[in-house]
Structure formats: structure tokens, C-alpha cells
Amino acid sequence: MTDIATLQQDANAHFDAGRLDEASAACRQILEQAPERPDVQAFAGLIAMQRGDWPGAVHHYEVAAKLKPDFAEALNNLGRAHQRQGDLPAALTALQRAAEINPNMAAIHQNLGAVQQSAGDLEAAVESYQRVLALDPESAEAHRNIGLVRQKQDDAAAAEKSYKTALALRPDWPVPFSNLSLLMLDQRRADEALKYCQAWMRLAPASIEAMAVMSVARNDVGDEAGMQDLMDFDRLVRVLPEIETPAGYDSLATFNKALVDHVLAHPTLKVPPKDDPTYHHPKLNITEDLFEGDLGPMADFREVVLRAMDGYRQQVTNQPPHPFLGNWPRDWKLVCWAVVLDGQGTLAPHVHLDGYLGGVYYPLLPDCVNPDAADQAGWFEIGHPPEDLPHARDLPTRAIPPEEGLMLLFPSYMYHRTLPFQSDTVRISVAFDMKPID
């Protein structure tokens, strides 16, 4: 049996190297020998958070806090994990306990303010952020968060002041540029919005969000050429009418049926939470990453996507230069999820903020979704920004009729949506995205 000290060294080394599975395994070995170690429980919780395993994080931090009731750091992270799971009351309880134990830890008040803000208790959130500033007057994050609250309260002047203060404290932080760009668009100050977008893109030239907002800002100031460069559908959107049937399937229809069966039986397929601004609809179900776990036919689909993306890179060159094509991520992973609309539905306009080159494939469509539909029911539309994104002028759009076997590739910064439809059968799309790795 490996001694605990050696296992702790191994866990730390694996964690520092990003080998989270190995770090987690080392923690499990320690806890098998010494389950009442609150420090190890908390470390296991941290590893779970890094892996996106929020139920696991909640479990470990709850045990750590039970073993050591004054463990403010564990309670702080317990609150964060509860928040990520959408359990705001539990998050609030954990963070309030943490603040009582250690009122001088700025991170606790920062996280408490975020939960209060999400819960709609805006003045309480401001009080928490002000406690952060009392402890750390140069916290750009606290100033920025106060700006978010003031903007939600329709106090644009106070919001602008807070965002600018955050920017002055951290001029290399892209987030205040985003906030100021959107605030200026909302105030119909498009010239200033464009100025902040340009500064934002100088700082983060590969930012998908910056390119999305820049397209709106250029359109609002009347910069037709600049807007068209970003929204160049002919150049940047690729339609593959029918993918090549992967080896081992006698037809594309057989392959599509295998995909449909895999999606409908997938254990993560569910209706998204009500607070999801893009994906919630009672007739909509969505999976988690289909390139994780038991792949089944998704292994073949991944190869199809990788070939399509490689073809995109070869065909869509950076001449003339373009910010999207010129800032291709060096390292990335491919992620994939399925969207099942049962008989009716729509998807609101959205972008993939953590993606770069996105796409969608259609293995199953209802009869009402067809190229001859005058109402374009169930079509894929690209270019239309969401209603809550301030814009003074309509942007150009393109509606593309889906067909079974058709694949689309497009920059992740282009707003896109599914147009409404009604049918007696389901509409299934398999979406994917290139996710840059820092």
C-alpha cells in the first residue's frame, strides 16, 4: 500500500500537470485510507470542479465542511459548485456561512455577490461587491460586477463609470471592453461601441464574442464594407449537400439511422433548464458532448467532421486577410451535441462563445422541413442577432434549407437560429464546434 505522503505528492504533481484523472485517482486512494481528511476532501472537490463534475465537487466540499466546520475556503467553493448546478439557495447558504467564518476573504464576498445577483437581489449584490472593494480597492472584477448590476437597474451612467473604472484598473482585461461595447450599442452610441470593439479585438484578436459584437457595431455606424467582411456568407459559410458515407455502412441512410438511434438513447439527452436563454423549450431535448464516453457511430461521425474542417481550412484561405481566418487556434478539441425538437420548436439566435469553427449535420428531418417550404419552417438561418442584443439596423441574413445528409460549416461568431416549425415527427440536428484550448 502506497503511503499517504507519497500519494499526496503524486496527486499534486498530476494536478499541476493537468492530469486530472490521475490526480483524482490518487485522492481516492488517500481517502480510502484516511476518509476524514478535510484537506484531501477539499482537494478532491477542486479536481472535480476542474473536470466540470459539479455533483462530485458538491459532495467533496460538503464532506470537507462537515469534517471541519470553520473551513471557509471549502464553503466558498461549495457555494460556487452549487451555483454552477443552478441551486442558488444552497449556494447562498454556503457562501453566507463562509463570510461569517472569514469576513476578510474578498473572494467569498465576490462569489456571494454573484449568487445574489443571479437570484435578483441586486442591492445585496452591490453590498457584497462593495465589501470586496473595502478589502481590495483595486478589484477590477468587483467594479465590473457593480456595473452589471447598475446596467440591469437601467442606470447607464453608473454602469459606464464602473466599467471604465474596471478597465482603468485592468487595461489588459477583455471583459470590460465587452461590457462597454454592448452598453454603447444599447445607448445608441454606435461610434463609441465600435471604438471599444476595435480595442477589444486588438487585445483579443481571436475573440468570437468580439467578432460577433463588431459585426453589429459596424452595421450600426453604417460601415457596410466592414460589416460585409465579417458577414461574408459566400466566403465563410460552407454547405456540403451530402457527406460521404463512412466505411462499414451500406448507405448514408443507414448511417443516419445509427446516429439517430444513438442520440435518442443517449443518457444525457434532456430538456435544458428554464434559465437557459438559448436552449430551453419544453419540446426540446439536448445532449452533452457526444464525443465523450461510448461513441458508437459518433466515432465515424467525428472523422467525417475532421475531414470537413480540414477541407474548410484548405478552401477558405486568408487572402484577403480576415480576423477569423488569420487567428486560427493552434490547439483545439472537437465537441459535439445533438438537438432534438419534438414536433415543434425553434432555437433563439446565438453564437458559440467557446467555439471557433462551428457546424451542424442533419440525420433526421420532418417532412415539413424541405427546400420548397414557402414559410422556411425549420430552416437554418444565419446572421440575425438576438432581440436582447441592442442593434439599430437589421443585419443581412441567409436562410438555408436543411436536408438529411447535409452538413454546414460556419464561423462560431455568426449568430444563427432554427426557424419555427410544427410537425408530427422530430427534427434532429447534430451540432459540433472547434473549441480552442488555452
**Lowest-pLDDT range, 73-77, 85-89, 405-409, 410-414?**
85-89
- CA atoms of 41 and 44, how far apart (whole Å): 5
Element (H, E) at 100: helix 88-101
Burial 34-64 (b: 16+ CB within 10 A, else e): eeebbebbbbbbbbbbeeebbebbbbbbbbb
- CA atoms of 367 and 373, how far apart (whole Å): 10
- pLDDT for 290 beyond 80: yes
- CA atoms of 358 and 85, how far apart (whole Å): 26
Q: How many other C-beta atoms lie within 10 A of the C-beta of residue 258?
A: 19
The topology (CATH level 3) of 235-436 is Jelly Rolls (2.60.120)
**Per-residue pLDDT tens for 307-334?**
999 999 999 999 999 999 999 999 999 9
Which residues does 294 contact at the CB level (< 8 Å), separation at least 6?
none
pTM for the full predicted model: 0.86
Grouping H, G, I as helix, E, B as strand and the rest as coil, residue 379 is: coil
Specify the domain boundaries for CATH 2.60.120.620 within the chain: 235-436
**Per-residue pLDDT tens for 132-179?**
999 999 999 999 999 999 999 999 999 999 999 999 999 999 999 999
- CA atoms of 46 and 364, how far apart (whole Å): 41
CATH annotation of 4-228: 1.25.40.10
Place of cell 481571436: 206
So what's the pLDDT on residue 72? Answer: 96
φ, ψ at 170 (rounded to 5°):
-135, 80
**Per-residue pLDDT tens for 357-382?**
999 999 999 888 888 888 888 899 99
Specify the domain boundaries for CATH 1.25.40.10 within the chain: 4-228
So what's the pLDDT on residue 273? Answer: 66
Place of cell 484578436: 205
Mean pLDDT of 21-39: 88
So what's the pLDDT on residue 369? Answer: 84
Question: Grid coordinates representing 144?
Answer: 465590473
